[in-house]
Structure 1
Amino acid sequence: MKLFVGIDVSSKELEVAMLTSESTKQLFRAHVPNDLNGASEIKQKILELNEAYQFEQTVIAMESTSVYSFHPAFFFKNDAELSALNVEAVLLNPRDTKRYKDIFEASKSDSIDAFYIADFLRTGHYTTGIVRQEEYLALQRLTRSRFEVVQSLTRSKQHFIENLYYKVNKLAVEPLGTSLFGSTMMELLTADISTEDLAALPLEGLANFLDQKSHGRFSDPQKLAETIQKAIRGSYRLNQVVSESVDTVLAIYANEIKMYQKIIAQLRKSIEKILEMIPEGQILQSIPGIGPVYSAGILAEIGQIERFDNEAKLAKYAGLAWKRNQSGNFEGQKTPMLHTGDTYLRYYLIEAANSIIHYDPVFKKYFDKKMSEIKNAPRKRALSLTARKLIRVIYYLLSRHQIYQSEEVV
């Protein structure tokens, strides 16, 4: 007989319900604080029930609810007395438990939620345990923070380009052959000089400015200077009041972009330091195109590969799975991606796939094939499918502790 413990977690409280594998009658039900004392109270009750019933296994589950489930989950997972009783602590996808609960109940209450979390365990449809080692958790804090900062950086760049369009519309939309967000271009675009003065500068003087500020990184500063001046002269003009306000906004976003870039660089250093403690980091970095940041982002979310029975479950956990549309002999061609899964893991897998196709010929061939087959949003969908292929490779390498070898080499 097994004991199933369902815990509904909030910022301040833990609502707990305990059932056995043989009955839906609740052995215990309580409402305790979400702190060390409350978790200890639940633990003590589990020990008492185990003494009375001698359970072959105890499964403690709670929904993955932001940061609130972190401490109780690790308390139950790492407690020495509970570990001696064959206790498994798992985090459940809230969508799964909600669907299960909705079959039986239309109302919403925490006590009911705790019961159905425990009852859901009786179906045996839980698979993913929690990450055990602290290195993965430390890495996860860094890689998830990097993800959020990158999103903020992207938004700042979008706002910068939007305001640049007001100031010099052709410069914002026409290719320059270099990034607008390089230090030299950012300094030029936010300099205390009007567009008219910039357009009137001698071409040689502008070219020299670009060459000096970039420390000779531009291959043809003369051509770049010509392109910039041509775009300025062909752009609309603003009156002084609007122009000054746009310049102010551009300067603000330029500073914001620099700040985010600096934060990302700091996070990268910390990520690389912790990644050195995890042996699997070298395995993933053996895949061409996957550096320390992408390896860290993937490993931080996967944790121990033993958490997943097969690569299909890992793909579903990442949200890189598709709904099948089939009835009788009919097989639908449109298969939308599941809107569930680990957002951070999916992001790092897709970013890694986007990098790999530039280095590994096998992945490039696969990506090109999918690009040619897909009509709607081909690049986006082809990258998702390439990331799904990458999952198979990652699962194989991590589960066998092997270094990557290209299929062509093999």
Structure 2
Amino acid sequence: MRFIGLDVHQKYVEGCEIGPDKKKRRFRIANTRESWEEFAQTLDPETRVVMEATSNAFWIYDILSGYPAQVVIANTLKTRAIAEARIKTDALDAQILAQLLAADFIPESWVPDKEKYQLRVLLHHRIRLAKIRTMLKNKIHAVLIRNGIQSPWSDLFGKNGRRFLESISLPETEQIIVCSSLRLLDAVQKEMTALEADLFVRAKENPDVKLLMGIPGISALSALTILAEIGDISRFSSPKKLASYAGLVPSVHQSGKTRYTGHITKEGRSVLRWILVQCAQRAVQSEGKLRAFYLGLKAKKGHKIAIVATARKLLHVVWAVLVRQEEYRDLRRDLLDKKLKTMNRKAKKYEVTTDELWRIIEDVGEIPDEQAPRWLQGAG
């Protein structure tokens, strides 16, 4: 057997191969598709390859998994703990990965299929756009605060709020900041609307989305995000294991016979944890079991602990609904119908023509044809 560890960087990858003779061979690969295709040609069924679960590891995995070798993505947190215990280092370089793989000490990460991975990427892009939108709004609010101006409107960015912003008098530099931020805000909102319309189409095509939409606080896009983050629900034999995957379980510390529980671990899928807390915030606004649970705990432990516990309880409900393929027991049909109407109304495929892509590129700066992406070269 050959064991190959890959330490993936942005522009290159450090590799270490341990052959049948136990000798180590180090090498470096340029992090380009052409280099990986060439490297993949050297793989055979007697080869095992491992790399850490970094942001750019999955497209490499996608290329290599099409060849005979066994390719695994290492669970970074667990692998690092094993490496520190056995090799006394916190640097997971290529040689250590290869050694752990040869000793069968690599805890593997579950790798989503291409469709699920691409959906995750789109949903994460939407979240980043939402954060940019919030940042721009906060910037405008900050301008008003430091100039002693209070808006008479609760929504500063609705129609009346925008008219108010146009009517106020500000110093020239502050006016530039507000106008610039509003233009950026409009551009971000336009992209978010188009992207969300495409995501609504994908949500309509997934029957599990409708099942989750029956749960209080979960919208179509929230359901799609939860499903994309979970992947295959059959991986989790219990709701507790799913909650652990989301990092929504309490940390445990033990000293002798004394056992302490602390804050949640925050390990695992941070986006899954975030979206569940958002859904819990909405769920407790309407009457039902989740609200009653939240209010009972809030009186004893406060809002933060109560809302996190509600998010965990919500995830238990998600697990039960998906595993049993049954509607939520306390489903409110009127609320589900309202959510479905919104989804159907907003669903529209995201389309960008080649001409529009060229316009975007030219707005940034004209580039020679030979430097354009290969799939755009020669396009008209």
Q: Say whether the fold is shared (TM-score over 0.5).
A: yes
In 1, Cα distance between equivalents of 2:3 and 2:296:
48
Letter in 2 for 1:94: T
**Other-structure match for 1:130:** 111
Partner secondary structure for residue 171 of structure 2: helix
**Other-structure match for 1:100:** 82
- In the alignment, is residue 185 of structure 1 matched against residue 158 of structure 2? no
Match of 1:110 among 85, 93, 102: 93
**Other-structure match for 1:353:** 280
**What whole-Å deviation, never above 9, does each CA across 1:274-302 have from its counterpart, x for those lacking one?**
22333322221222331111112112222
Letter in 1 for 2:318: I
**What whole-Å deviation, never above 9, does each CA across 1:358-400 have from its counterpart, x for those lacking one?**
34611111111221221xxx32332222111122121222223
In 2, Cα distance between equivalents of 1:24 and 1:355:
60
Structure 1 residue ranges (4+ consecutive) displaced by more than 6 angstroms after TM superposition: 26-29
Q: Contact 1:360–1:406 (CA<8 Å) still a contact in 2?
A: no
**Other-structure match for 1:71:** 59
Letter in 2 for 1:385: A
- In the alignment, is residue 366 of structure 1 matched against residue 366 of structure 2? no
Q: CA, structure 1 residues 17+369, in 2 after alignment: closer, same or farther (shift >3 Å)?
A: farther
Q: Contact 2:53–2:73 (CA<8 Å) still a contact in 1?
A: yes
**Other-structure match for 2:225:** 297
Q: How much does 1:337 deviate?
A: 2.4
**Other-structure match for 1:391:** 315
**Other-structure match for 2:46:** 49
Letter in 2 for 1:72: I
Q: Percent identity?
A: 23
Q: Contact 2:283–2:290 (CA<8 Å) still a contact in 1?
A: yes
Matches within 5 A, 1:8-407: 8-16=7-15, 25=22, 31-36=28-33, 39=36, 47-49=44-46, 60-66=49-55, 68-77=56-65, 79=66, 81=68, 87=70, 89-103=71-85, 104-106=87-89, 108=91, 110-116=93-99, 118=101, 122-123=104-105, 125-126=107-108, 128-134=109-115, 136-169=116-149, 171=150, 178-191=154-167, 193-194=168-169, 243-332=171-260, 335-359=262-286, 361-374=288-301, 378-406=302-330
Partner secondary structure for residue 263 of structure 2: coil
In 2, Cα distance between equivalents of 1:147 and 1:9:
26
In 2, Cα distance between equivalents of 1:295 and 1:322:
24
TM-score by length of 2: 0.74
Partner secondary structure for residue 251 of structure 2: coil
Aligned residues: 332
Q: CA, structure 1 residues 305+167, in 2 after alignment: closer, same or farther (shift >3 Å)?
A: same
Q: CA, structure 1 residues 99+382, in 2 after alignment: closer, same or farther (shift >3 Å)?
A: same
Q: Which has the larger Rg?
A: 1
Q: CA, structure 1 residues 306+155, in 2 after alignment: closer, same or farther (shift >3 Å)?
A: same
Q: Contact 2:80–2:90 (CA<8 Å) still a contact in 1?
A: no
Q: CA, structure 1 residues 95+355, in 2 after alignment: closer, same or farther (shift >3 Å)?
A: same
Q: Which runs of 5+ in 2 are unaligned?
A: 334-380
Q: How much does 1:109 deviate?
A: 7.2
Partner secondary structure for residue 332 of structure 1: strand
Partner secondary structure for residue 289 of structure 1: coil
TM-score by length of 1: 0.69
Q: How much does 1:321 deviate?
A: 2.5
In 2, Cα distance between equivalents of 1:151 and 1:18:
42
Letter in 2 for 1:97: T
Q: CA, structure 1 residues 39+387, in 2 after alignment: closer, same or farther (shift >3 Å)?
A: same
In 2, Cα distance between equivalents of 1:322 and 1:406:
28
Q: CA, structure 1 residues 110+360, in 2 after alignment: closer, same or farther (shift >3 Å)?
A: same
